[in-house]
């Protein structure tokens, strides 16, 4: 995470946590959870539901990522680098070292008992970039953008399960998430 983004993340969370009197954690991943919430994966193996309408954390958050809140993710809670909701039920959870899990929200568990490598069979089109992914940005519901460590991105169609551009596209003043 670049310094400017990390500083903005810390400032955002400092405002939210100031009322709780705690040191703000860092956002490791963020995704749209439903029409009114963002799910924030936080440093320290925690997560929080942020109410967009109320501009505040839901009561009782942050909570630990453990086998009662996110069954199957407890062992990986400090390795999460990015996440995106594929649809109403499934979430891609990307981990350090080029691996991932799929969390099924309806069944409240991971679809496998261990992480899988990111390759062209598990997430089509991302195999060559597995160790280069730094984050994911959802935009709009059908698409997400896999942001790479070199400040380029790959646009991903969550319905077709495919990368739309054949090569990473660099961010610049003219081209930004087109």
Cα first-last separation, the chain: 22
Range of the domain at 141: 74-178
**Domain-ending residue, one of 42, 64, 86:** 64
CB 133 within 8 A of CB 118: yes
**Domain-ending residue, one of 39, 64, 89:** 64
Q: Is the pLDDT of residue 10 over 60?
A: no
- Each residue of 23-34: pLDDT tens digit? 678 888 988 888
**Which candidate, 70, 68, 73, 66, places its Cα nearest to that of 100?**
73
- Each residue of 105-143: pLDDT tens digit? 999 999 988 899 999 999 889 999 999 999 998 876 789
- Each residue of 39-53: pLDDT tens digit? 999 989 999 999 999
Residue 176 shares a structural domain with residue 133 = yes
Residue 31 shares a structural domain with residue 98 = no
Helical (H) or strand (E) element with 107: none
Q: Is residue 126 part of a domain?
A: yes
For residues 12 and 4, give the distance between their C-alpha atoms in angstroms, rounded to a whole number: 12
Q: Is residue 92 part of a domain?
A: yes
pTM strictly above 0.75: yes
Residue 47 shares a structural domain with residue 124 = no
| Residue 41: per-residue pLDDT | 93
Residue 52 shares a structural domain with residue 110 = no
**Which candidate, 111, 130, 112, 110, places its Cα nearest to that of 120?**
130
For residues 12 and 50, give the distance between their C-alpha atoms in angstroms, rounded to a whole number: 12
Q: Is residue 69 part of a domain?
A: no
172: domain CATH number? 2.110.10.10
Residue 114 shares a structural domain with residue 143 = yes
Residue 45 shares a structural domain with residue 20 = yes
What are the residues facing 135 on neighbouring strands?
147
| Residue 170: per-residue pLDDT | 86
Hey, what's the torsion of the CAs at 164, 169, 171, 176, to 10 degrees? -30
Residue 99 shares a structural domain with residue 172 = yes
User: Taking all residues of the chain, what is their mean pLDDT, rounded to a whole number?
Assistant: 85
| Residue 1: per-residue pLDDT | 46
Q: How many structural domains compose the chain?
A: 2
Residue 96 shares a structural domain with residue 170 = yes
| Coil/strand/helix, residue 47 | strand
CB 133 within 8 A of CB 82: yes
């Amino acid at each position: 995470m670049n310094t400017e983004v990390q500083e903005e993340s810390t400032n955002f969370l400092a405002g939210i946590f100031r009322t709780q009197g705690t040191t703000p954690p860092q956002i490791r991943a963020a995704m749209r959870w439903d029409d009114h919430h963002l799910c924030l994966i936080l440093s320290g193996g925690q997560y929080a539901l942020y109410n967009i309408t109320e501009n505040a954390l839901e009561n009782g958050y942050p909570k630990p990522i453990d086998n009662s809140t996110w069954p199957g993710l407890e062992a990986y809670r400090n390795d999460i680098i990015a996440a995106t909701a594929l649809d109403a039920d499934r979430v891609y959870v990307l981990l350090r070292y080029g691996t991932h899990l799929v969390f099924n929200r309806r069944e409240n568990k991971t679809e496998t008992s261990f992480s899988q490598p990111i390759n062209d069979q598990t997430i089509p089109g991302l195999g060559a970039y597995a160790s280069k992914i730094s984050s994911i940005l959802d935009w709009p519901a059908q698409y997400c953008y896999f942001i790479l460590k070199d400040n380029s991105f790959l646009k991903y169609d969550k319905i077709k399960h495919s990368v739309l551009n054949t090569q990473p596209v660099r961010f610049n003043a003219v081209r930004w998430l087109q």
